[in-house]
Amino acid sequence: MYSLRQSLTRVVALGTLALAACQDATQSPTAPVVPQAPQAARSPQAQARLEAIFQNASPEVMALPGTVFADNDEVAGKVVFGVENANAMNGVRQAMARRGVDESDYAIEVTAPIVSMQAKQTLRSEFDSKVGGIQIHFTRYLCTLGFNATSGTQRSFITNSHCTGTQGGVENTVYYQPTSSTGEVIATEVADPLYVKGGSCPKGKKCRHSDASRAAYSAGVNSTLGAIARTTAANNPSLDVAGSFSITSADHGTKSFPIGTPVNKVGRTTGWTRGVVTRTCVHTGVQGSTVYLYCQTFVSDPGGATVVGSGDSGSGTFGDPSGGGVKLLGILWGGFSDGKTFIFSPLASIEDELGPLTVH
């Protein structure tokens, strides 16, 4: 098993230098070839006629399914229509025939659809109002903001204890969203209980019941209580944000979930993934550390989908959407190295250690 924070690496984009081939000095330079426009394009009368066809026919043609563009092409001396596929051509021809336009006065081209180049918002984008499921940055690492919560009157978010500067104990870790390049500290760590030794804790280990910490939002930083970003579908690779889940209830009492219970999560690396409980109330060690966690929950997809990856640490876990909302269950902190199983701490255990939380 392994914890799932991700190291932040600076990526430098290297431009490509294009070099023009030099012409042999013994060759005579040649003048550029200028394409000659058809006679129709050079005739003012013909251009006026084509412009009239363009203005009159374009509204009807562009209302047809599959049409992409209409252009009075002065060089070609034709009105040119772009369509998405050959099936759309007949509709254009029929519309032009109804208007008495000769086929020699227009052309139809199959072309790719035109799409907006506006950047999509992803789980790794900057969010004006912070919600669960989005990328956060601390020290040199990336994690996921699990879910927003109010502790007393303090606006906060919950993420993992190992998503702090030091796992266990408060050292005032500061957080950025999505990275420190924004220059804005969005929150500061305020609660992260120390891990304890002795008693039921195995020799050489340090123990807790949850891998959870709480950070208080900075004044002026907006957050939305009860919201977790939603991507396009469960268990697909998309990180594109397509809305949000609304937390309408929370399981404050369960520590041992029945086998087969559906569990979802949204994380900055693998997005929205879903599986079912395969092991419940498992005492769990963590590879490469002395951390030992009591009564954790294992979740896998029966179809074998990848459900977790490095950087998903801190993701809030919740039940299947029902009645317009979801029930909050806990917080993801780790998984098996093949990405097929994630592990989460129950909300009941988180509140045992961090105190009561208002989450919706």
Interval 37-59: pLDDT, tens: 454 445 788 889 999 999 999 99
In which band, very low, low, confident or very high, does the pLDDT at 254 lie, cut at 50, 70 and 90? Answer: very high
- 207 and 306, same domain (yes or no): yes
**Residue 323 lies in domain:** 120-354
User: Looking at residue 119, what is its pLDDT?
Assistant: 65
Distance CA(2)–CA(288), nearest Å, equals 8
Distance CA(135)–CA(314), nearest Å, equals 10
* pTM beyond 0.85: no
Residue 327, pLDDT > 60, answer yes
Residue 25, pLDDT > 70, answer no
Query: Cα–chain-centroid distance for residue 196?
Result: 37
127 in a structural domain: yes
User: Looking at residue 39, what is its pLDDT?
Assistant: 46
Backbone angles phi, psi at 347, to 5 degrees: -55, -35
- 154 and 263, same domain (yes or no): yes
* Tens digits of residue pLDDT in 173-202: 999 999 999 999 999 999 999 999 999 999
Residue 323, pLDDT > 70, answer yes
Q: What is the mean pLDDT of residues 318-346?
A: 96
Residue 315, pLDDT > 80, answer yes
- 125 and 247, same domain (yes or no): yes
Q: What is the mean pLDDT of residues 78-91?
A: 94
User: Looking at residue 42, what is its pLDDT?
Assistant: 58
- 181 and 246, same domain (yes or no): yes
70 in a structural domain: yes
12 in a structural domain: no
Residue 10, pLDDT > 70, answer no
User: Looking at residue 278, what is its pLDDT?
Assistant: 98
- 47 and 100, same domain (yes or no): yes
User: Looking at residue 1, what is its pLDDT?
Assistant: 52
- 92 and 176, same domain (yes or no): no
192 in a structural domain: yes
What are the distances in angstroms from CA 334 to CA 6, 19, 192, 213, 325?
12, 49, 18, 15, 25
User: Looking at residue 17, what is its pLDDT?
Assistant: 26
Residue 13, pLDDT > 50, answer no
User: Looking at residue 75, what is its pLDDT?
Assistant: 86
* Domain end marker among 85, 110, 135: 110
